[in-house]
DNA sequence: GAAAAGATTTACCGATCTGTTCATCTTGGC
DNA sequence: GCCAAGATGAACAGATCGGTAAATCTTTTC
């Protein structure tokens, strides 16, 4: 299997898991929808869990690339990027394919502390936190790590509520909160 | 089946669904762990989905009762209750049985907009929002509904991150953010 | 063009899924 | 003590689960 085919398989499996859930998506369906026979899939991934982990790696890469780039496009200065985060989220929420955060859902279905899927989901959130903390530092804001943690909490809460309510409003609500927190960390 | 037995069945099923997930928990396991035969369960609940909905109703009642009472116990004034919320969450996070928000997980596994499980999960969040908005109004805070929406976002984000990281820290992080938002809505 | 390597189809494995059938057993009311 | 109602275990449907075996078909390589 070529690298392209393999990536394409992971990409399509990602869509299925993201849209339908992990337990709810069987490997027969994955084979049917990817056009790759189940035998071939199991040649390249020893278990369903390994395939899930591969989809999460791809998602992590794609999502962070998209989000960080979009934040920078919307508002280059580091301080403004922390607010543009919520505009980017708003764009995401309004997409018809939006179904919440894949890592939250993965962690919810495989929630044991040491389960590789949960570990990988947590790693994704840690990388987001790092990025926000770096931006807060570059913007010379007070207590950059504490602020970054708060921004991350606002982001996750907005995603959860947007997915559940099928509404984009939480992006604006969270942005207003973030504006005040950033202003306080900047002004004083 | 007596009302007590029925409630006990729902309570034990709730624990199983909450700890293991919905798709991952089979009805055979529910029968085994509740001590109620599968035949009897299906006499009282036509489908697994109906049993899940019953567990969510019980959870909604128990959780809101506990949370609202605890918030009031910790800090009677309405304005302080909105901050005590996060202390109550901290207590919840530190319990060994804590596994995140059952409604977020239910919504993640049954995420179709019109699915009864998702509808019921959303209704739970709406009731929380109402309560927070009432408290904000009673405390005479600016834009009480907007503040309530922000508090709710902080709460959901803190729960998600606490569950994923197996740490109670998000409760304190969210509280610090809430303190500032409440102060701004109070002072100005 | 032949040999080797990889992908495919098809069928299968045993386990588990939701939900049902049925014959037996327990229980409460009179 | 008797009858009816309800609960039970056990077996069973039919489908699907994750995962595999073996034979056939394609593709690459030399």
Q: Which residue is nearest to nucleotide C7 (CA to C1')?
A: A40
DSSP state of B32: H
CA distance linking residue A125 with residue A150, whole number of Å:
13
Regions of chain B with pLDDT less than 70:
1-2, 188
Cβ of B49 near strand C (distance < 7 A): yes
Check whether residue B37 has its CB closer than 7 Å to nucleic acid strand C. no
Q: Do A166 and B24 touch (CB under 8 A)?
A: no
Looking at the predicted structure, is the pLDDT value of residue A162 above 80?
A: yes
Q: What pLDDT sits at residue A188?
A: 59
Q: Which tens digits make up the pLDDT trace of A163-177? A: 999 999 999 999 999
DSSP for A3-26, please give it: HHHHHHHHHHHHHHHHHH-STTS-
CA angle B13, B16, B17 (to 5 degrees): 85
The domain defined by B53-187 folds into Tetracycline Repressor; domain 2 (1.10.357)
Secondary-structure class of domain A56-187 per CATH: mainly alpha
Domain extent listing, chain B:
53-187
Q: pLDDT of A61-111, one tens digit each?
A: 999 999 999 999 999 999 899 999 999 999 999 999 999 999 999 999 999
Report the C-alpha gap between A81 and A99 in whole angstroms.
24
Predicted confidence (pLDDT) per residue in A118-147, tens digit:
999 999 999 999 999 999 999 999 999 999
Are A129 and A178 within 8 A, CB to CB? no
Tell me which of A85, A127, A173, A186 to substitute to probe the interface with B (most B C-beta atoms closer than 10 Å): A173
Closest of A117, A116, A102, A122 to residue A16, by C-alpha? A102
pLDDT-based confidence at residue A1 (cuts at 50, 70, 90): low
Token output for A41: 């899939």
pLDDT category of residue A187 using cuts at 50, 70 and 90? confident
Residue B27's pLDDT is: 94
Taking the CB of residue B39, how many other CB atoms lie within 10 A of it? 8
A40 touches strand C (CB under 7 A): yes
Closest CA to B152 of A39, A156, A40, A100: A156
Residues 6 or more apart in contact with residue A115 via CB below 8 angstroms: none
């Amino acid at each position: 299997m070529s690298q392209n085919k393999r990536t394409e398989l992971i990409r399509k499996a990602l869509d299925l898991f993201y849209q339908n859930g992990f337990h709810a998506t069987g490997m027969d369906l994955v084979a049917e929808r990817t056009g790759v026979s189940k035998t071939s899939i199991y040649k390249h991934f020893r278990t369903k869990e390994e395939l899930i982990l591969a989809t999460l790696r791809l998602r992590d890469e794609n999502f962070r690339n998209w989000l960080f780039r979009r934040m920078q496009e919307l508002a280059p200065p580091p301080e403004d990027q922390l607010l543009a985060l919520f505009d980017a989220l708003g764009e995401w929420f309004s997409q018809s394919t939006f179904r919440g955060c894949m890592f939250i859902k993965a962690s919810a279905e495989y929630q044991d502390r040491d389960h590789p899927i949960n570990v990988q989901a947590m790693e994704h959130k840690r990388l987001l936190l790092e990025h926000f903390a770096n931006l807060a530092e570059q913007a010379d804001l007070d207590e950059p790590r504490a602020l970054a943690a708060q921004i991350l909490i606002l982001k996750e809460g907005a995603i959860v509520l947007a997915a559940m309510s099928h509404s984009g409003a939480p992006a604006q609500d969270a942005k207003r909160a973030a504006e005040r927190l950033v202003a306080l960390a900047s002004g004083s």
